[in-house]
Amino acid sequence: MNRYERWAAAAAALMLVAGAAIFLYAPTDYLQGPVQRIFYLHVSSAIAAYGCFAVVLVGGIIYLRTENVVADRFARAGALVGVVFTTVTLVMGMLWAKPIWGSFWTWDARLTSTLVLWIIYAGYLLVRRLSDPGRQAARLAAVVGIFGFIDVPVVHFSVTWWRTQHPGPIIVNDALPAQMLTTFFLTMACTLVLAAVMVWVRYRIETLTDERQHIAEAVPVVAAREPEPVP
């Protein structure tokens, strides 16, 4: 096992620990029943996605200022992993919505803005795929990523700004029993580690792809400064 595989294995093991906590430690919700256990991963992966998109934002800004490919590779990695976690949030949310609301989807502000988030970053990935690799692709995508981040606060605050069917903030309002809260924070920590590892592995893949396409880090205009994988 190389060190990437070791890290991946460790992250997977952590997720198993989180899973155990979710199903064995956390109490069953007396109103919603077992389906409420979706909550932990649903929210954690949303927050992980925010983190990934923050990497895209910071990476994009650094890239535009310094043309440092390292920043751009992190941005690319962040976008892909962020889309994956947004997908998890969406799917989990829809699975939860069916039994609770009676349908997979309603068009409320939280759900819609989350879908838009997914579309924006999928568009980011498409811009990358459809332009010739190199500085231009990186610059254009950076602009898309920076503008796209506008939607992240919209998603987060949608439940307070608009009347939504989706529940409002409960964690910051201390509305959860202690066991649930512990499980939630454990799951969130594990998910964030997983996201960081995924970004890091993906960064490695992007580096190898770049090398194959001779997108060198040879001439950085300013010395490289790496963005944090997850802020």
Partner 1 sequence: MSLLVGNGLTHWFGRELALEGVDLVIDTGEHMAVLGDNGAGKTTLLRILATVLRPTSGQLEIAGLNAFRERRRLRHHVGYVAHATGLYPALTAAENLEFFCDLQDVSRTRVEEALDAVGLTRVARRRAGELSRGMQQRLSIARAILHEPRLLILDEPDASLGDDAAELLTQVMKDKTVVLATHDHALANRLCPRTLVLRHGRSHGTATRLRVVR
Partner 2 sequence: MNPFRVALAVARKDIRSEWRTREMVPALAQFIVLALLIGNFGFQIDARNAPAIAPGILWLALVFAGLVAFGRTFAAEREQASLEAMLMTPASPVAIFAGKAIAASLLLVICEAVLLPALTLFFGTPFTGDVVAAVLLATVGMAALGVMFAAIVARVRARELLLPLLTLPLWIPFIIAGGQAVQSAMGLPGNYQEAIGLLIDFDILFVVLTSLAARFVLEE
Residues that bind partner 1 (CB under 8 A): 132-133, 135, 212-216, 218-219, 221
Report the partner that residue 193 touches, choosing among ligand HEM, partner 2, partner 1, none (CB closer than 5 to 8 A by kind): none
Cα angle, residue 65 at apex, residues 195 and 82 outer, rounded to 5°: 20
Tokens 């990695």 — which residue?
77
* Residue 70 or 78 having the CB closest to ligand HEM: 78
* Residue 48 or 142 having the CB closest to partner 1: 142
Between CA 198 and CA 99 the distance in angstroms is: 31
Tokens 């992007």 — which residue?
206
Report the partner that residue 133 touches, choosing among partner 1, partner 2, ligand HEM, none (CB closer than 5 to 8 A by kind): partner 1
Report the partner that residue 139 touches, choosing among ligand HEM, partner 1, partner 2, none (CB closer than 5 to 8 A by kind): partner 2
Q: Which residues are paired to 33 by β-bridges? A: 29
Cα end-to-end distance, the chain, whole Å: 28
- The binding track of 59-78 with respect to partner 2, each residue x by CB under 8 A or -, is -----x--------------
Q: Confirm if 66 and 226 have CB atoms less than 8 A apart.
A: no
* Nearest distance from C-beta of residue 220 to partner 1, angstroms: 11
Residue 49 Cα distances to 31, 214, 227, 229, angstroms: 29, 30, 16, 12
Which residues of the chain form contacts with partner 2 (CB under 8 A)? 64, 94, 102-107, 112, 115-116, 119-120, 122-123, 126-127, 129-131, 135-136, 139-140, 142-144, 146-148, 150-151
